[in-house]
């Protein structure tokens, strides 16, 4: 995008922010005609003060509008910044599979090497190292796409497709964390098609889980509920003892469906889906990380809390949190635990206990800073805590707010 005129860049980012020309003009204090002329290149932007105003309204770094390399600030090193999002987008926009029909793929990493890289990316995500993951994802996407294309007609085709399906899912999950929901949906949707080529129903089921998560983040709640429940029904264990992997993917689809049902206030469906997931976790016999799901009894407990928060019942969420199996919780990976602390912080705000809400945010930040500092939802919760705190906020909360750039 560096070669585009500045007006085109303004139009691009305005579109990304889903602003009409009129809304954008109103926020700038300009006319719609002025905006239209700027975007078409008829009117020049020759005042830096105006460029800075535009960057502020669009919430982008001014260097992006000027077509220059953005200097990464120290505090963004552990998050996914705008430059990295655009690099991931560019990798998703590649269609190497089509090119492979016409000419040989020039380079493809060995499958064994790709397998190690994908496993490392999963662990990076589950330890909430989002900045490191974002810097690795563009190359990982390109390599996985190249491997998938290079092995399309070989015995390694299913393995290569499986790895690419996983990479799309990692990208989808990471992008959803930082609010890039449309891009998250695209990556998840890609994973469904690739997973089918891999011939793995469970990987396809987990791709459906990612689609459901992206749809929920986009506010498409009923489609999210439907895709989770429909695919869970297809993967439901039969009379014979199911594999641990099948129980894990099935259980996660039910838990995701419960979150969707909670969003629309359907408490009966929430109870049914949580009950089904709990039964699957009992049959599984413990907490496991099959297919990178972290599914088991503890994750079911976490979702009991999370669905209560979505239903607006903060007290029930807090009570469930206090009854939680601490040993199982402490054994979970950092992303899951920090995510839970964010959910419980929301629960405490619902019952008016902003002091405890702040403590939960601090716990999450100590455990996995990126899960708190990089997520728009955490910024909203912290802003709410600050606004409702009487007097001066505690020093640790004030320091966290300063580091996150959150004001009252």
Q: State the 10-residue block means of pLDDT for the chain, 408 residues long.
A: 73 82 91 93 86 83 71 57 83 67 64 96 95 91 92 92 97 93 95 94 97 97 98 89 90 98 98 98 96 97 98 97 95 97 98 97 96 92 95 94 83
Q: How much is the pLDDT for 67?
A: 74
Q: Distance between the two ends of the chain, CA-based, in angstroms?
A: 35
Q: Work out how many domains the chain is built from and give that number.
A: 3
In order of 22, 30, 276, the CA distances from 379 in angstroms are 28, 30, 33
Cα gap 256→189, rounded to integer Å: 16
Yes or no: say if 118 and 140 are a contact pair by the CB < 8 Å rule: yes
Q: Is residue 154 part of a domain?
A: yes
Q: Are residues 305 and 377 located together in one domain of the fold?
A: no
Last residue of a domain, one of 295, 324, 342: 342
Q: How much is the pLDDT for 116?
A: 96
Q: Is residue 1 part of a domain?
A: no
Q: Are residues 162 and 278 located together in one domain of the fold?
A: yes
DSSP character for 76?
A: G
Q: Are residues 210 and 137 located together in one domain of the fold?
A: yes
Q: How many CB atoms lie within 10 A of CB 308?
A: 25
Last residue of a domain, one of 38, 65, 92: 65
Contacts of 375 (CB under 8 A, 6+ apart): 177, 178, 179, 342
Instruction: Using alpha carbons only, give the angle 269, 208, 135 rounded to the nearest 5 degrees.
Output: 125
Q: Are residues 322 and 366 located together in one domain of the fold?
A: no
Cα gap 396→376, rounded to integer Å: 20
Q: Are residues 161 and 182 located together in one domain of the fold?
A: yes
In order of 54, 88, 139, 378, 379, the CA distances from 80 in angstroms are 22, 10, 15, 15, 15
Cα gap 340→329, rounded to integer Å: 10
Q: How much is the pLDDT for 2?
A: 46
Q: How much is the pLDDT for 75?
A: 47
Last residue of a domain, one of 65, 88, 111: 65
Q: Are residues 356 and 215 located together in one domain of the fold?
A: no
Q: Are residues 279 and 171 located together in one domain of the fold?
A: yes
Yes or no: say if 376 and 179 are a contact pair by the CB < 8 Å rule: yes
Question: Domain span at residue 362?
Answer: 343-408
Q: Are residues 148 and 286 located together in one domain of the fold?
A: yes
Q: Are residues 289 and 145 located together in one domain of the fold?
A: yes
In order of 72, 75, 84, 137, 353, the CA distances from 68 in angstroms are 12, 20, 14, 22, 45
Instruction: Using alpha carbons only, give the angle 245, 251, 253 rounded to the nearest 5 degrees.
Output: 105
Q: How much is the pLDDT for 16?
A: 73
Cα gap 256→272, rounded to integer Å: 12
Q: Are residues 196 and 49 located together in one domain of the fold?
A: no
Yes or no: say if 253 and 267 are a contact pair by the CB < 8 Å rule: no
With CA atoms as reference, report the closest residue to 206 among 178, 156, 168.
168
């Amino acid at each position: 995008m560096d070669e585009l005129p500045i007006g085109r860049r303004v139009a691009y980012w305005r579109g990304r922010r889903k602003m009409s020309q009129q809304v954008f003009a109103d926020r700038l204090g300009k006319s719609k005609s002025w905006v239209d002329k700027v975007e078409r290149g008829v009117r020049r932007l020759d005042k830096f003060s105006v460029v800075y105003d535009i960057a502020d309204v669009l919430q982008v770094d001014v260097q992006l509008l000027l077509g220059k390399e953005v200097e990464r600030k120290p505090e963004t090193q552990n998050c996914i910044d705008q430059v990295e999002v655009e690099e991931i987008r560019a990798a998703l926009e590649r269609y190497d599979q089509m090119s492979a029909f016409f000419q040989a793929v020039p380079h493809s990493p060995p499958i064994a090497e790709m397998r190690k890289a994908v496993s490392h990316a999963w662990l990076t995500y589950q330890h909430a190292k989002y900045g490191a993951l974002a810097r690795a994802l563009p190359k990982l996407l390109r390599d996985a796409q190249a491997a998938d294309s290079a092995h399309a007609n070989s015995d390694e085709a299913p393995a290569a497709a499986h790895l690419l399906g996983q990479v799309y899912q990692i990208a989808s999950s990471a992008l959803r964390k930082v609010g890039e929901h449309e891009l998250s949906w695209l990556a998840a949707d890609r994973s469904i098609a690739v997973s089918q080529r891999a011939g793995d129903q469970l990987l396809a089921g987990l791709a459906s889980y990612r689609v459901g998560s992206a749809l929920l983040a986009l506010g498409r709640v009923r489609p999210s509920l439907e895709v989770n429940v429909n695919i869970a029904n297809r993967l439901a264990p039969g009379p014979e003892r199911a594999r641990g992997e099948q129980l894990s993917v099935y259980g996660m689809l039910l838990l995701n469906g419960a979150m969707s049902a909670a969003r629309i206030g359907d408490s009966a469906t929430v109870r049914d889906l949580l009950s089904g997931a709990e039964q699957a976790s009992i049959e599984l016999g413990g907490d496991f990380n099959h297919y990178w799901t972290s599914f088991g009894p503890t994750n079911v407990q976490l979702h009991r809390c999370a669905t209560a928060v979505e239903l607006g019942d903060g007290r029930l969420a807090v009570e469930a949190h206090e009854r939680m199996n601490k040993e199982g919780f402490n054994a979970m990976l950092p992303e899951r635990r920090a995510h839970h602390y964010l959910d419980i912080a929301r629960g405490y705000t619902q019952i008016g206990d902003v002091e405890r809400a702040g403590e939960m945010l601090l716990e999450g930040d100590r455990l996995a800073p990126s899960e708190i500092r990089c997520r728009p939802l955490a910024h909203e919760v912290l802003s709410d805590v600050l606004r409702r705190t009487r007097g001066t906020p505690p020093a640790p909360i004030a320091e966290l707010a300063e580091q996150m750039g959150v004001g009252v």
